Structure 1
Amino acid sequence: MKRFIIVIYIVLQGSVVFAQKEKRDIHNGNKLYQQQKYAEAEASYRKSVEKTKESVAGNFNLGDALYKQKKFDNAAQKFNEIASTSDDKSVRAQAYHNLGNSLLESKKLEESIEAYKKSLMNNPKDDQTRYNLAYAQEKLKQQQQQEKDNKDKNKDKKDQNKKEQDKKDQDKKDQEKKDQQDKDKNDQDKKDQQGQQPQADKLSKEDAERMLEALKNEEKNTQDKLKNKKAKGVKKRIVKDW
């Protein structure tokens, strides 16, 4: 698209017969406007409309002075008033054109498109308004595409965050499960070790039999010794009875 050029329609001179003071205020405002002293021009135009509120030139140029100061909302309000009240199709076309420009600068693209369309309804031959309309429509298309891209991007990011969170939750569950399994295994190992350890106060059957056999043998030896001792007898001193 070509570089966007805003054309502001300005009513510096008019064929309407003004009161002498009103004409002087508008004339002074026009001089200040041409010198790019827009705040001073605004003040002068306001004086003119205070004297004649229906002044097309005073109100129109006041809107232009507001626009030049980037007071776009105030300018839009002024141009909308002119377009809504004027019976002159040429004035309405210019007012809607400038209204579209003011709305465009405020990023109100859909509203600016409607204003440009109304301007063309009053003056279908205005190529600059047609160009501005196409520009605004293209900007709106780009804005909608950007919003869609941002929405898709946010959705992808949200989905990715959900996947990451789900993975963290699953990893946590897996770790907890593993920890429990390790704990259960350790507990079972301890039980198995305790079951394999011999009890100190309990003899095996073989050990008991060997001990019993040893005791029997020891008892037998003792009995044998006693028998031998008894057979030999004990030597006693013989006392002869004379």
Structure 2
Amino acid sequence: MSDYKSYANATGMGGAGYVQGGLSQGDASSSSAPKRTQHTLRPVTIKQLLKVSETHADGDFKLDGQDLSQVKLIAAVRNVNKQTTLTTYKLEDGTGTIDAKLFATEDADAESLAQIVDGVYVRVIGQLKSFRERNYFLNLFNYQSIQVVKDPNEITTHNLEVIHAHASSTRNKMHTGQQDVSMTPAAPYQASGFAGAAQTDDFISNKAVELLTECPDRKVGYHRHELFKRIGEIQGGQARFE
């Protein structure tokens, strides 16, 4: 669907391989080997994060019935609270709001972080954490885990990744007529210059899921350009993705 490796490289996870639902950093070498946690990079919306199920008090989470390790989110910055050792970013993507926390480190790129101000769109990679029972926040690994989005097409690509990951994880549910509304991609506000490129609606979301489900090669799916072309034909117009 898209090049997940670019996001892996940004967080030092290069060399990982793609598995259904995200990136894998390694599995058990055999069924007799001790079970190891599978680390995946899952594209999500904030609404999905706020609806996850917590498996136990230690903070393990599941989304669409699968373990949730590391997540990728694209959202607008609504507030920046910078303190001596911790910076908290309030993020919003049109489906909800969540805080992302970044602890200060000596190797942090001050120039890069200075670009992250109210109103800009950012790409965030981190781990979901909770405190005081269902008060969620994202724990960022390092300063490279939050980057300003410079290409509006990246927002659209992320929305398609969210749909694809959800469709892959819940294929059995969809065959029985069930569907989780939490997969609806983010719809950024008109106040942003990216809003026109990022807008989506239930028809497009549902049609994309339907096309991916009916794709002859489900493991590979459609290239994003082909998916946009098919959706454009269904709508009677030409969808654009350049």
Work out whether the TM-score is over 0.5. no
Shorter-chain TM-score: which interval?
Answer: under 0.3
Higher relative contact order (CA 8 A, sep 6+): 2
Name which one, 1 or 2, has greater alpha-carbon Rg: 1
* TM-score computed with the length of structure 2 as normaliser: 0.25
More strand by share: 2
More helix by share: 1
* TM-score computed with the length of structure 1 as normaliser: 0.25
